[in-house]
Structure 1
Amino acid sequence: MATVSISDPATCAGPSGPFAHVYVTITDVQAHVSSTAGDNDPGWKDLTPNLSKSPKQIDLLGQANNQCFLATLGDAQQLQAGNYQQIRLILADNGANIPNSLCTSSANCVVLTADHSVHTLQLSSESKTGIKIPSGQIASGGFNIAAGQTKDLDLDFNTCESIVLEGNGEYRLKPVLHAGEVSTTSTSINGKVLDKTTGNPVNGTVLVALEQKDAAGVDRIVMSTLAGADGSFVFCPIPAGTYDVVIVGERADGVAYQPSIVTSIANGETTGNVNLYAGVAGTLGSAALAGTVTSQNSANSGTVADIDLSALETVGTGTFTIPLVPNAQQPSAELAVETAASSSCPTGTDCVKYSMTLAAGGPYVGAFSASGVTLTQSSPLATYVVDGLAFVPGGGVVPDCSPSELKSQAYPLVSSFSLTVQTLPFTQCQ
């Protein structure tokens, strides 16, 4: 599997450089295992098949020094193992209709620092046969992908050398770039989520969380993303290490999926296709947990605190954070609340009431394997612990209260799918 990003060391950017922006519109990125393949050879592999329907306009000077984070051009795609010897980058013709283009009358342009005037960036063959990157310009001589592996391809423009001011005053793109595998500290974990029943991408919303164990051995969410319309997802860049991927979803008709968990996957690997199983327990396959959080200072008076709430579930020897069912009412994987003074609060406290909707079924769990992940349901119904982490209001991630973390008792879903959780009482808060 490969993901493609684009970057540039912005040495000629304003205010001291001549260009405020350099916009190019990319319609496709392709690769070939043969160093001699011609433009029309059928062996070219499309790395960004969705890009042709929705070309992406990139500011080469607005993406400086961020490598993988810069601009992921398309969803991660399954590629056969091999050593890809050629890469080509295809740009949109300047006459193409690009919705919301930042160029006034073309698909590609430069914006000058001096007067902010916009000038069409003229192309030669780049929109037809693509900007060629032969093996001699690819790090290690080729883009190597092994079975069950994912790597990131960073296309690195040298913008200052790539733009030529011609005698007639027009600007022309004369690409100077190379390609190569990014370092292991900027690799990705990719995959695709499918509905187990239909074998197709989910008709609804899928949230994918990347998790890693904290000092206490609890899986915490370090990144989360929504899967694309084709079910694909990518996390990039991520530090070296081993992660777990936890996936939840909701169909367009409101039916929740039971969580799917892929364990022990390292960066540089792909989950492949991961199935989601529609819930059959509870109301629309989901459960509602509601409760109250209180906070008070050392003088036993109410005080404001920021609280992050999440649902934990233990499967075997592992404890995972189960993201909230993704919908309009729950746009985030976890719930962030703030306590406040209210006549409904217990005496001497500030408080906040909360409710979270979670999958009712137990998760399907499987360890990563390059040959494919086999998922097995841990239990028919979930058992949740509500976890609260207190932070100083406006302090970002500065812990507050003593202790700064409180957990509820475990709540198994047996006959009721609407549970009231015990109060989490934070004390000794600032």
Structure 2
Amino acid sequence: MKYLKSLTLKSLMIATLVSFGLISCSEDDSSTNNGEGTANLTVRMTDAPGDYDAVLVDVQDVEIHVETEAEGELEGDEDGDGWISVGDVETGVYDLLELTGGVSQLLADTEVPAGFVSQMRLVLGSENSVVIDGESKPLNTPSAQQSGLKLQINQEFIAGENYAFLLDFDVDKSVVTTGNGSYNLKPVIRVSAEADAGMVVGKVIIPETIEIDVQSLAVLTNGSITVSAYTNDEGEFALKGVPAGTYTLTITPQSDVDLDVHTNTEVEVRPNETTDLGEIEL
């Protein structure tokens, strides 16, 4: 693993595979399941690690495809095809590699029409780039700019309830090198239900004899699912949106230090709970 410079974590980042789920129910006399009324939708973005200096994506909109039984036109559906913007999107150019160590960026926290939501799409602009060895190179994303990156949701949004989605980009798989030396963005995004998922946190302790800052890669896997994140400047990591189950955790320090890989084969994750592994000494 190539050494990645320590990242300064922004206090405000995008809210990029995607996590989704019902977080909590609020009591509302208008709550129904017939497509009437509105539900609260929160969309956040985070990142699985990648071996680059920076990966910058230009977020312009978040849209959902809604099927509703309510009479009349769907508000915001200008083309009559069921696609609407979620509204109040935090647009901007964001560095995915700053969304690690448990950090995520809020993209939207808004009210949307109740109904069956089959898909979500992330619409990107033209200011996408990747930085390699200090050199910035364009990231080509033609499909994302035209129609958006489509993500499967297949969730019934009930009026008066709250839904939260985590868009988890896998940068290493999402940035593709072409034959002519250019780069394409073909996003690989994980989707999971935050309400039914757990989180694993911990802090990696480096021996005092090592006098440089060390960044480590934390990876949870159980064969079919892999969730990863780098440690922050304090050695802390947070693995979010993890489905319940038993996982193997590996902590791999950067390659230019003489430290062994830490492995724990019995990390149990429970729904809606945080598993705190405490301090992990390398």
Structure showing greater relative contact order (alpha-carbon pairs closer than 8 Å, 6 or more residues apart): 2
Instruction: Write 1 or 2 for the structure with the bigger share of strand.
Output: 2
Name the TM-score, length of structure 2 as normaliser.
Answer: 0.49
Name the TM-score, length of structure 1 as normaliser.
Answer: 0.33
Return the index of the structure with the highest Cα Rg: 1
